[in-house]
Amino acid sequence: MTDTVERRKVARIIRAMDTSDGAGVRLKRSVGSPALEMLDPFLMLDSISSDKADDYIAGFPEHPHRGFETVTYMVEGAMRHNDSIGSEGVLRSGGVQWMTAGSGIIHSETPEQEAGLLQGFQLWINLPARDKMRRPRYQNLEADQVVEISPDRGVDIRLVAGKAFGKTGPVSGIATKPVFMDVKLAAGAEVTLPVPDGHAAFVYVFIGDAEVAGRAVATHHLAVLKDGNSVLLKGGAKGGRMLLIAAAPINEPVARHGPFVMNTRQELMQAFEDFQKGRFVRAKATG
């Protein structure tokens, strides 16, 4: 073991592309776009940011998932969710929902507002073969359950998963041992954050601008990081807010189509058949 700081550098910078999903929700996609189809184990990163109701009000009607995890992080606004295993609730500003779809779940997400800013993210993370058919589960966190750290003036961190400054994020028991931080930096403020060696990692700037490992990164751009055990972040001319996300690669074959992510084409076809025949996990009837 070594305590030597090996700062990561930027491998490439990608501009998020404009697209839509669900029932016409306008969003920006970085991971999962033609520029970056996948960054093992990350399958997709979507950013929603609009104060125009027409851009988001239709939401994401009922749809299935199997074989991976979805992470929904709300920055501003509120989103109602319900699903086939009986879970229902409202994800509000600062809250996180870490859903392990496993063997199969059907859910919907609908904005719980008719006006105002809706800003947030959805991240898709692959599951290893051994976990793809596990029973679905959730880790739901209210805003006050996320660890908040202010290690220096002009540096504010919300720690969802991983470790920093002697603190540990509340999300646990995830196969890929993820790091998930929301980092807000005042103009010129700097912070060096830990990133485990060998983890795939990126920084997505969603407000203002920043320097990532010495490289300028503008709003709605994603910086893919090279290997190392830490990364230096600095607020831009007017400050910046960004996500630092990392996880251990799975290094397994990927067969994916739409909402299903498996290891082989045969498993993928089985997922479609199981969904069509109503075999996904459903809540037990009561009464």
pLDDT digits (tens, 9 = 90+) for 138-190: 889 999 999 999 999 999 999 999 999 999 999 999 999 999 999 999 999 99
Which positions ≥6 away from 3 have C-beta within 8 Å?
A: none
Distance separating alpha carbons of residues 109 and 112, to the nearest angstrom: 9
In this prediction, residue 62 has a pLDDT band, given cuts at 50, 70 and 90, of: confident
More confident residue, 16 or 58: 16
In this prediction, residue 8 has a pLDDT band, given cuts at 50, 70 and 90, of: very high
At residue 111's C-alpha, the angle toward residues 110 and 114, to 5°, is 135
> Which residues are paired to 242 by β-bridges?
183, 205
What pLDDT sits at residue 282? 63
pLDDT, average across residues 55-81: 88
> Which residues are paired to 201 by β-bridges?
246
Closest residue by Cα to residue 191 from 147, 152, 144, 224: 152
More confident residue, 112 or 158: 158
In this prediction, residue 57 has a pLDDT band, given cuts at 50, 70 and 90, of: confident
In this prediction, residue 86 has a pLDDT band, given cuts at 50, 70 and 90, of: low
More confident residue, 259 or 83: 259
Residue type, 286: T
Q: Residue 16 pLDDT > 50, yes or no?
A: yes
Give the number of other CB atoms < 10 A from CB of residue 21.
Answer: 15
In this prediction, residue 286 has a pLDDT band, given cuts at 50, 70 and 90, of: very low
What pLDDT sits at residue 285? 35
Return the structure tokens found at 181: 């931080």
What pLDDT sits at residue 227? 98
In this prediction, residue 131 has a pLDDT band, given cuts at 50, 70 and 90, of: very high
In this prediction, residue 1 has a pLDDT band, given cuts at 50, 70 and 90, of: very low
> Which residues are paired to 246 by β-bridges?
179, 201
Residue type, 65: H
Distance separating alpha carbons of residues 111 and 84, to the nearest angstrom: 19
Q: Residue 56 pLDDT > 80, yes or no?
A: yes
